[in-house]
Amino acid sequence: MPGVKALEPLWSQRLNDCIISAAFSSDGRYLAAAEISGKLVIFDARLGQRLREIPAHGFGITSISWRPGTAELATAGQDGKARLWSATTADKLAELACGAEWVEKLQFSPSGLYLATSAGKKLRLWSHTGELLLAAPDHSSTIADLEWMPATARFPGDVLAYCGYGGLVFLKPGQAQGYKSFEYKGSMLKIRWSPDACFIGTGNQDASIQFFVLPEGVDGPSRDLVMWGYRSKILDMAWDPQSRYLATSGSSTIIIWNCGGKGPAGSKPDMLDFHMRLISELAWQSSGPLLASGCEEGLLALWRPGKASKPLATAHLGAPISQIQWAPGDQTFLAASEDGALNLYAIEQIK
Partner 1 sequence: MNPSSSRVPVTVLTGFLGSGKTTLLNRILTEEHGKKIAVIENEFGEIGVDQDLVINAEEEIFEMNNGCICCTVRGDLIRILGNLMKRREKFDHILIETTGMADPGPVAQTFFVDDEMQQRLKLDGIVTLVDAKHIWQHIDDAGEAKEQIAFADVIILNKTDLVAPADLDRLEARIRSMNAAARLYRAQNAQIELDHVLNMGGFNLDRALELDPKFMEPEYPFEWGGIYSFTPGTYTFQVGPGPDPEMDIVLEPAAGASEEDLRNAIEKAISRDFVTIPCPVRHTFTISEPGHYALFTQHHPDEFAASIEGIEPLVTREFKPDHEHDEEVSSVGITTPGDLDSKRFNSWMSELLQNRGTDIFRMKGIVSIAGRPERFVFQGVHMLFDGRPDRPWGAEPRRNQLIFIGRNLDREALQKGFLRCLA
Report the nearest approach of partner 1 to the CB of residue 183 (Å). 11
Report the nearest approach of partner 1 to the CB of residue 37 (Å). 6
Verify binding: residue 92, partner 1, rule CB under 8 A. no
Sign of CA dihedral 201, 241, 170, 109: positive
Verify binding: residue 211, partner 1, rule CB under 8 A. no
Residues in contact with 200: Cβ distance below 8 Å, sequence separation at least 6, in sequence order: 161, 168, 191, 192, 193, 194, 211, 212, 214
Verify binding: residue 181, partner 1, rule CB under 8 A. no
Please list the residues that pair with 31 across neighbouring strands: 24, 43
Report the nearest approach of partner 1 to the CB of residue 99 (Å). 12
Verify binding: residue 184, partner 1, rule CB under 8 A. yes
| Near partner 1 by CB under 8 A: residue from 7, 9, 11, 20 | 20
Verify binding: residue 232, partner 1, rule CB under 8 A. yes
| Near partner 1 by CB under 8 A: residue from 75, 109, 208, 332 | 208
Dihedral pair phi/psi, residue 28, rounded to 5°: 80, 5
Length of the chain in terms of residues written:
351
Verify binding: residue 148, partner 1, rule CB under 8 A. no
Q: How many residues bind partner 1 (CB under 8 A)?
A: 38
Residues in contact with 222: Cβ distance below 8 Å, sequence separation at least 6, in sequence order: 182, 212, 213, 214
Contact string (CB under 8 A) for partner 1, positions 100-139, x = contact: xxx-x---------------x-------------------
Verify binding: residue 53, partner 1, rule CB under 8 A. no
Helix (H) or strand (E) holding 32: strand 30-35
User: Which residue stretch of 56-64, 66-74, 212-220, 285-293 sits at the interface with partner 1 (rule: CB under 8 A)?
Assistant: 56-64
CA distance 282 to 165: 23
CA distance 5 to 7: 6
Pairing type for strands 313-316 and 299-303 reads antiparallel
Name the site residues for partner 1 (rule: CB under 8 A).
16-18, 20, 36-37, 59-60, 62, 78-79, 100-102, 104, 120, 141-142, 144, 165, 184-187, 204-208, 231-233, 278, 320, 322, 338-340
